[in-house]
Structure 1
């Protein structure tokens, strides 16, 4: 085991980590907004919005992400109307093409997750909120959305992990994130095993942290699943603190 080479490789890959995290965070945040709009369109009862959401999900879930990246990066520039539009300064940049492809892809999967979460909200709680005189916006913000997020969070956590790993595909359009730097090192040293082991370990650590954050958010959003705190234990702890006992 060549430890100096592994250390040098690790430092080189860590330098590319901010780009990987930036791609993942940007696409997940933008994809969540788009997914929520698609899910609301599917549940709106408006035929045009419903079928548009169905078609969108069908296209982006039914085609590989790699093909979508190629079509956006290489395909959009083939149309003169796009090259002369205000969007061309962004669409000719590989970073924004990658963000666009990742966002559109994750929105298709996340919209179904969010739609399932919205459908899982108990109808009785919605009716109770309406009976209390809640306006539709407040009803959605205070009742429907929190319950839907809590129900959809475990599945959405898996989608976020998938998007972190999907950022590795952006190396094919010259983005030097972790996988892109790893491929460059391999082309120079022909030592694929060591390089991929280090890069795989980096992705493993990122996803480990992400899973813990999702579990913490799920814990905070599920107070009914927490063990109850007895009044006697709370009173004893308060008295001990007041008495100056460190226990």
Structure 2
């Protein structure tokens, strides 16, 4: 059986694994994206003592292998089964997919927090002072000035983080989550043909290429949008209408 025949025969399994990889990556990245802005603000503005627990969490997640984190959540949760059952959380932690998703989300949150913190620190102080001068409150300043500019600065690094998360999702197979790599191992155990790993690598490459293309398109749209927003000529008329 040649490599093309293997692909034709086992493509449903490889497709199923590909969809699982995409699902893990997107959900993990989205959960991290929802939490990291708040954590980034704490890292920038909170007092050192107040942000100490967050700094410990970020340092632990960035300084330890994601495989170790995955094992701690999946196998370690069994040590606290009575407590988790009492709180109604055991059904969540007994599911390998939930444990893998939690591990990836926690890991990505730590990285996205630090990336976004750098973006916030890169916002020119003059833009924040200008927002205060025209009467924007703190929440409006964050929503209309700080975060748009911070995301424009951090966007390439955030894209790299999602790509790294996608490649790290291959580790989910060690806790019986059959992502692309898990399905590839299943096919190899039946065929003993190393070409199946080549097909898996090509699928990963295609996913990454499509993601990079979409991410760059979003970056161009974000740059145009924030560029117009910070253009004095573009914002002068709306501000005049608001005051009227």
TM-score normalised per structure 1:
0.87
Q: Which has the larger radius of gyration?
A: 1
- Gaps (5+ residues) in structure 2? 228-244
CA contact (8 A) 2:21 2:169 kept: yes
Aligned with 1:16: secondary structure?
Answer: helix
Q: How many residues align?
A: 225
CA contact (8 A) 1:10 1:198 kept: no
**More contact order relative to length (CA 8 Å, sep ≥ 6):** 2
Alignment correspondent of 1:91: 93
What's the CA shift string for 1:175-233, capped at 9, x where partnerless?
11111111111112211x2111011111111111111111111111222999xxxxxxx
CA contact (8 A) 1:23 1:99 kept: yes
Separation in 1 of the partners of 2:226 and 2:57? 36
Separation in 2 of the partners of 1:225 and 1:109? 24
Measure how far apart 1:48 and its partner are: 3.6
Aligned with 1:221: secondary structure?
Answer: helix
What's the CA shift string for 1:17-37, capped at 9, x where partnerless?
221111111100001122222
TM-score normalised per structure 2:
0.88
Alignment correspondent of 2:161: 159
Alignment correspondent of 1:220: 221
- Gaps (5+ residues) in structure 1? 227-247
Aligned with 2:190: secondary structure?
Answer: helix
1:66-215 mapped onto 2 (5 Å cutoff): 66-79=67-80, 80-191=82-193, 193-215=194-216
Separation in 2 of the partners of 1:82 and 1:51? 27
Query: What CA RMSD, in Å, does the superposition of the two structures yield over aligned residues?
Result: 1.7
Alignment correspondent of 2:230: none
